[in-house]
Chain A
Amino acid sequence: MLLIRCPYCEEERPELEFRNAGEAHIARSANIAGETDDDFEKFFFIRSNPKGIIYERWRHMHGCARFFNAVRDTVTDKFVMTYKAGEPKPSKLPGVAK
């Protein structure tokens, strides 16, 4: 089981308290009904599914219940960092090359 640091509670808590909420930083169009089929497919269905660093959303369901973002390596499942929702995608990752 993963240990996940909630950036709001500022504590590492067991994965059971959390729900994964999919890839992060996918912006929903303000005019969703006006999206082309291509753009809607990209927004709704297409995913990066990276082997390596992933940016993903989690929700601290059985804690503060808030959404936040995390950076994780999908090969080792180790978390690089977590940060609050609305904060920009980190450009520099601690302890990760390039």
Chain B
Amino acid sequence: MKKYSVFAIAREAMRGHKGWEEQWSSPEPKKEYDVIIVGAGGHGLATAYYLATVHGITNVAVLEKGWLGGGNTGRNTTIIRSNYLYDESAGIYDHALKLWDGLSQELNYNVMYSARGVMMLAHNVHDIQVLKRHVHANRLNGIDNEWLSPEQAKEFCPPLNTSKDARYPVVGAALQRRGGTARHDAVAWGYARGASARGVHIIQNCEVTGVKRAANGAVMGVDTTRGFIGAKKVGVVAAGHSSVIMNMAGVRMPLESYPLQALVSEPVKPVVPCVVMSNTVHAYISQSDKGELVIGAGTDQYVSYSQTGGLHILQHTLDAICEMFPIFTRMKMLRSWGGIVDVTPDRSPILAKTPVPGLYVNCGWGTGGFKATPGSGHVFAHTIAKDDPHPINAPFTIERFRTGRLIDEAAAAAVAH
């Protein structure tokens, strides 16, 4: 792997950019690997990367039915924050946030992590109570979060409508300054490049169609559209399709998959300096470095794999955006799309061993997995390599739905689901 640097740019500029190499190779699948990761999104590629870098396991294949980073990694609104309520969530999301800081240097790939601040708006007394509870809980966990007055909120995000007669008056806000955004595609590409350079095979257009188990129940490998590939350890990181893959291994999951939509506007000059979220009216917005307003909606109400979703969901979100930011009422929207998110009953992820020996699962990130990408991959790699969870992901078992030890962020994750 040739290192990217200002000198590399200068060198290539001198010779017509003919020396750039492919960022990752596309090898033919081998018959057998030590570990197979199902799903080449951010979480899967990060898992492979940390298997190679932290645990020295490089005989790894990442299988992807479509193209790398083409699922929810390429469809999310790129928001990064760690202001979750419960200790377990704070642990895993802040682990990720700490890794975001420095990730570009670690990967030698600009993931454009920008700690521009995530501001969550309060519109009524209940919001104030909930958000202040979050501020306090976060600070007890060593996570930055601070309370802003409406005037301070306006100062932090000037286009915000904080007038007294606004349809959704702003009566305060919680601000996590370390929160922000990153370039979602670059995260997948950077991890892919780093993993590939260490010998990991990234195999695209290779759909898993079955999970093979030995007589003793342990995993033997997976059937794919490119034939059987053996491995004694298989990690399922398939987002909305995780339950489909787990069903192939005979494991029924506490998951339901819903469409989640987002949209972007025409590009304009910098106007939104931070991320603004409003959970009460369900809208969130930021501005990409290209200038597009990036707007996220809520999920549809029914199980679906259609990667679309109802128009009224987008309309509802845009109604709220226009009330909070009247200056955007004349903006044109360029694109909208949907991804399929796998949601657990307690709205916390599952990163765990499964009842099947050698089978591991990293799923259930629901509407907010992107922010966790580095931390998720880091602790999931540990879980696979050691056949034992990292202390950070130890609470995120499948068994919690039997024991009742839930991590109930359903009401506390600070977003509507």
Q: Are B252 and A48 in contact (CB under 8 A)?
A: yes
- Between A and B, how many residue pairs show CB distances below 8 Å? 66
Interface string of B182-201 (1 = CB under 8 A from A): 00000000000000000000
Given contacts A47-B256, A75-B306, A77-B306, contact A37 B311 (CB under 8 A): no
Q: Does B311 lie within 8 Å of A1, measured CB to CB?
A: yes
Chain A residue at smallest Cβ distance from B241 = A51
Are A15 and B310 in contact, CB atoms less than 8 angstroms apart?
Answer: yes
Measured between beta carbons, the chain B residues less than 8 angstroms from A12 are none
Q: Tell yes or no: B308 within 8 A of A by CB.
A: yes
Asked whether, in the complex, the Cβ of B253 is within 8 Å of the Cβ of A77, the reply is: no
Type the 1/0 row for A36-74, where 1 means its CB is closer than 8 Å to any CB of B.
011011101111111100101000000000000000101
Find the A residue at minimum CB distance from B315.
Answer: A1
Q: Which residue of B lies closest to A72 (CB)?
A: B302
Cβ proximity bits A2-38 to B, threshold 8 Å, 1 near / 0 not:
1000000000000110011011000000000000011
A47–B301 contact, CB under 8 A?
no
Chain A positions within 8 Å of B, measured between CB atoms, are 1-2, 15-16, 19-20, 22-23, 37-38, 40-42, 44-51, 54, 56, 72, 74-77
Q: Which of A22, A51, A54 is most buried by chain B, counting CB atoms within 10 A of its CB?
A: A51
Per CB-CB distance, the 7 closest pairs between chain A and chain B, nearest first, are: A45-B254, A45-B401, A20-B301, A49-B243, A41-B402, A20-B302, A1-B310
- Is the CB of B312 closer than 8 A to any CB of chain A? yes
Quick one: which of B304, B308, B342 has the most chain A CB within 10 A?
B304
B256 CB, min distance to chain A CBs, angstroms: 5
Closest approach, in angstroms, between the C-beta of A1 and any C-beta of chain B?
Answer: 5
25 pairs, A vs B, C-beta closer than 8 Å: A1-B310, A1-B312, A15-B310, A20-B301, A20-B302, A22-B256, A37-B403, A38-B402, A41-B254, A44-B401, A45-B345, A45-B401, A46-B252, A46-B253, A49-B253, A49-B303, A49-B342, A51-B244, A51-B305, A56-B302, A74-B257, A74-B306, A76-B306, A77-B304, A77-B308
B241-257 residues at the A interface, CB under 8 angstroms: 241, 243-244, 252-257
Query: What 7 additional pairs, Cβ within 8 angstroms, besides A22-B256, A47-B254, A74-B257?
Result: A19-B301, A42-B252, A47-B252, A47-B256, A72-B302, A74-B304, A74-B305
| Bound form: Cα–Cα A22–B255 in Å | 12
Q: Is the CB of A49 within 8 A of B256?
A: yes
The interface residues of chain A lying within 8 Å CB-to-CB of B305 are 51, 74-75
User: Are B301 and A54 closer than 8 Å at their CB atoms?
Assistant: no
Task: Note all chain B residues with C-beta closer than 8 A to A42.
Answer: 252
Q: Which residues of B contact A19 (CB under 8 A)?
A: 301
Q: Mark B211-249, 1 if CB is under 8 A from A, else 0.
A: 000000000000000000000000000000101100000
Residues in chain A near residue B402, CB distance under 8 A: 37-38, 40-41
Q: Is the CB of A74 within 8 A of B403?
A: no
Q: Give the chain B neighbours of A56 by CB distance below 8 A.
A: 302-303
Is the Cβ of B310 less than 8 Å from the Cβ of A2? yes
Contacts of A47 in B (CB 8 A): 243, 252-256
Contacts of A76 in B (CB 8 A): 306
Contacts of B255 in A (CB 8 A): 47, 49
Nearest residue in B to A76 (C-beta to C-beta)? B306
Contact residues in B for A1 (Cβ distance below 8 Å): 310-312
Question: What's the least CB distance linking B207 to chain A, in Å?
Answer: 12
Give the complex CA separation of A32 and B342 in angstroms. Answer: 28
Tell which of A22, A49, A72 touches B257, judged by Cβ atoms closer than 8 Å. A49
